[in-house]
Amino acid sequence: MEYDLEERTTVFSEHLIDFCKKVQKTTITVPLVDQGIRSGTSIGANYFEANGGVSRKDFKNKIFICKKEGKETQYWLRLITKALDDEKLREECRSLWKEAKELSLIFSKIASSSSD
């Protein structure tokens, strides 16, 4: 089976969107979800851009942004988990957090193995 990181980041974004639609909108959750959606969907967007990059330096820069956005997404998902009262949603959020962590680790490895 071919490993497709573009597909994986897109599926992550889709799952994140589906999850965020289920979160009850409160004064606490609205800004957390907004930030989580921004950083979480940015992972895939930057990876797609990296693959269309014009130079090795551009590729590496976009990969670094993917790693950074993944770490930021972990932060927001942790806070969203804290804000939730529904245990089923908490578990879904934790699952998304784990995927964001894996993506961060993958992009960290790609960034460290890419030469200028």
| Domain membership of residue 101 as a residue range | 5-18+27-113
Question: What is the C-alpha separation between 84 and 23, in angstroms, rounded?
Answer: 8
Are the C-beta atoms of 76 and 39 separated by less than 8 Å?
yes
Q: How many domains, the chain?
A: 1
Amino acid code (one letter) for 50: A
Residue 78 maps to which CATH number? Answer: 1.20.1440.60
Question: What is the C-alpha separation between 107 and 42, in angstroms, rounded?
Answer: 13
pTM: 0.93
pLDDT in tens, 21-56: 999 999 999 999 999 999 999 999 999 999 987 899
pLDDT in tens, 74-104: 999 999 999 999 999 999 999 999 999 999 9
